Structure 1
Amino acid sequence: MTTSKKHGSNTALVHSDYQAPEGFAAFPVGIHHASTVLFKNVAAMRERSWQNKSAYTYGLHGTPTSFTLEARLAEIEQGEHCLLVPSGLAAITLVDMAFLQSGDDVLIPDNAYNPNRELGDWLARSFGISARYYDPMIGAGISDLIRDNTRLIWAEAPGSVTMEVPDIPAICDAAHAKGVLVALDNTWSAGVAFPAFDYGVDIIMQALTKYQSGGSDVLMGAVITRDQTLNARLQAAHMRLGFGVGMDDAYLVLRNLPTLKLRFDAHDASARKVAAWLQTRPEISKVLHPALAECPGHEIWKRDFTGAGGLFSVLFDARYTEEQTDRFVDALQLFKIGFSWGGAHSLCVPYRIKQMRQHWSHDGILVRFNIGLEDAEDLINDITQALESLDA
């Protein structure tokens, strides 16, 4: 390799005549870091548009690494367009900012991911956008809640804490009859167990932090659509909010996508074993797992879904106090205490659910399990020894 000697030593540290030879090929996607994107000439710079992903304009709007991840995520969801954001909550925020303005109304399911509720309350408090919470099992009855200024209906299938499975086709039909968009948090199914666009959903958001990452080490979200007009509004909001992701994180998600379905199915199989076993325990009054008949919306899950993943909840018998169930969670050894799901490690979190829901009539403390990739029998043994602490 030869390098030009016509520049000073500092310049030589910044500029080089060397270019790597073409023809390199490998399975991993290359990691292209960039804030500044270079243009061949002024004409090329002026021709570029950040809305057009056939070329590059600035690192915030993407590099080959992020463009590739967006394309693959859209394919998984059977969509056409995808935008990456720094977290799942950022994905929800992007949708709200793109389609809501002062004077509008948004409907949010009462079982939604709690930060979505808090975001709705903030929109109402500070931006003049009314946010109302509906029974997730309302189905076609949501038509009666739609007002003239309702612009967006959120859904979550199932609710990520209380696990009710809503009738998404019925909600979409009612919404579309009145010109209202439906956005779905499809994180629970990772996009591989529920083809939401085929059931009428307009916009899908995913918390890539979960199954797509799979390593409990990445924060990222995605918003996916089929409609170019909707995508254009999302792109405009994406630019104005300044959302961007790091290419190292994008690469980590890309690296783990090929094993997504294998991991999802493994979580699913173990979770069903643990959930079925928990049904036999006298300490548990109800197992809220969509694949089990006692879970609200089970028949809808059977009709619309092809899998269940690793996340479910239980209700402890009403005789147990919060102090006792907290002791149970603390006594677990393989299960760690932490939010999120989709990683290799099993997690367990108790919830004060009556403080999170407008309408919750069930007795008993709710505890949520994320079943990881450990052996199911070992997880059952861990729960067994922890249950002994209830009466300690």
Structure 2
Amino acid sequence: MSWNFSTEPEFEKKLEWMRRFVREEIIPLEVADLPEAAFKQHTDKLKQQVKDQGLWAAHLEPELGGGGFGQLKLGLMHEILGQSVFAPPIFGNNAPDSGNAELLAIGGDEWQKERWMKPLLNGEIRSCFSMTEPGAGADPTQLSTRAVREGDEYVINGHKWFSSNGSHADFFIVMVVTDPDAEPHRRASMILVDRDTPGVNILRDIPVMGHSAAAGDKGHAEILYEDVRVPVSHLVGEEGDGFMLAQQRLGPGRIHHAMRWLGQGQRAFDIMCERVVSRKVSGGLLKDKQMIQDMVATSKAELEAARLLTLQAAWKMDQGGTKAALTDIAIIKFWGAQVLYNVIDRAIQVHGSLGITGDLPLEEMYRNARAARIYDGPDEVHKVTVSRRVLRDYEPTEVPSEHIPTRAEEAKKKFAEYLEAVS
């Protein structure tokens, strides 16, 4: 199989505009000390520039207001946006809103799209994906939040946490068990719940590594749903579609994560390289020290490998859909997260005590990088997925215990014959 990661000149111009825009207009926001109202006013103007370029909510199809670019082009775009936590919301594709909009585009009916998806795409409302539970961990088949149908309503009861954006979202997409007796991957469904629905109790924002309130992330909420009643019309798709919809949402999202990690990793790499060509220690520049050279070379190799793996996954997804790229998506999820962590860690080490201060962005990058190895499934789960999918293509072989010495004796015999022939 051959791959083609090239894009047309017109799109390359868009990427170049994005690079300049992120570098000159967005990254400076990280050190701007603006009141909330002034910050919003300024970023609204930046969002309009993005819309004028036709790059707003680019992850969706044109009929939904997006660019219809496909995963490969989106990957290249997200690599640029990953340089700053402020970039994704300014481009209308910050998590979890981007994934939730894609989910409604796939599974929502026309009324649901009009009611929730379109205002979400316009930046008028915010959303929350409420799936994770304290007892279920990384195994969604262990979810216990229940939705029982009573007439024309569902009654929801359950306990969720790490519901990102939950504390300020206008609506929630809640993963619930609608049929506990069904086979594991048909037990769950997704139901839309408005924030002001009675029984929605937001207990707290869980303090976590990588929390960035400045970027508009209000944290990861712990929520109790207590006798929450919503109309049956709030069901996304059909009963039992929850896992299928979640997979369609998470596949593209993981590629986007991995590409944003590359942008973040590249920025950390650039900061590291600027340091090593400038800093003098022990009578010479850091760049001349072999241990530093090893850090630079290893980081460069890891970033390039992660980039190619991610572009390959995106290309395969464009060619055959999420199913065709499942192994590749699982690979980049754990490999990309590990590379991000590695590169940032080396960049901090090169800077010494300065690296762990808030004077550089590295310490926040580091906290985000550590969390990346857990959210959207921990590394170990994705490694299991990769191993299973790879090994299913192999057949077991049986080698009799007496076969090995027999082959050894045969080899000795042939070697003796060879020596006799050449002597």
* Same fold by TM-score greater than 0.5: no
Question: Which has more helix, going by share of residues?
Answer: 2
- Interval of TM-score (by shorter of Structure 1 and Structure 2): under 0.3
